[in-house]
């Protein structure tokens, strides 16, 4: 009986240890970020992260755009494709470096880049 419990306990401990390591390696994107996309679009992005999942809202001159079903992996954050006011957003990707995030947005058939900074 003791041997059986030992063999069940070891994989459980390994699983918990691995899960904690994976979470610790993900960047923190919580909070408000502000910057410019494509040198002309001023944006403010508010994000809420729970473990590796993230949702948010982009505040722009043309209105608020929801960001849903995002995933944080290491220093990368990506959101699933979506449609906003009939326009296709193929991807939203960010690369976090401390309090700076380089962003690429695939919109219609064009790719826009920019840099956001964390608001403290």
All domains of the chain in start order, with CATH: 2-118 (2.40.128.120)
User: pTM of the prediction?
Assistant: 0.76
Question: pLDDT at residue 3 above 50?
Answer: no
Work out the mean pLDDT of the chain and round it to a whole number. Answer: 83
Interval 64-99: pLDDT, tens: 999 999 999 999 999 999 998 888 899 999 999 999
Interval 95-115: pLDDT, tens: 999 999 999 999 888 999 999
Please count the CA atoms within 13 angstroms of the CA of 120 that sit on its side-chain side.
3
Question: pLDDT at residue 13 above 60?
Answer: no
The answer to whether the beta carbons of residues 92 and 79 sit under 8 Å apart is yes
Question: pLDDT at residue 63 above 50?
Answer: yes
Given this model, what pLDDT does residue 61 score? 83
- The structure tokens listed for 21 are 């390591």
* CA–CA gap between residue 86 and residue 20 (Å, rounded): 40
Q: Which helix (H) or strand (E) holds 37?
A: strand 31-37
* CA–CA gap between residue 119 and residue 99 (Å, rounded): 8
Tell me the C-alpha to C-alpha distance, in Å, between residue 93 and each of 9, 17, 45, 74, 98: 39, 29, 13, 13, 16
- Which residue do the tokens 């494709």 mark? 81
* CA–CA gap between residue 84 and residue 3 (Å, rounded): 58
Q: Pick the more confident residue, 59 or 13.
A: 59
Q: Pick the more confident residue, 42 or 19.
A: 42
Given this model, what pLDDT does residue 24 score? 54
């Amino acid at each position: 009986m003791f041997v059986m419990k030992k063999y069940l306990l070891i994989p459980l401990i390994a699983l918990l240890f691995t899960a904690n390591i994976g979470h610790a390696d993900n960047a923190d994107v919580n909070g408000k970020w502000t910057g410019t996309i494509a040198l002309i679009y001023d944006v403010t992005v508010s994000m809420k992260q729970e473990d590796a999942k993230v949702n948010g809202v982009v505040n722009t001159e043309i209105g608020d755009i929801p960001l849903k079903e995002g995933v944080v992996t290491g220093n990368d954050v990506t959101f699933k494709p979506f449609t906003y006011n009939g326009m296709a957003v193929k991807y939203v990707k960010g690369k976090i470096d401390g309090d700076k995030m380089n962003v690429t947005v695939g919109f219609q058939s064009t790719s826009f880049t920019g840099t956001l900074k964390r608001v403290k």
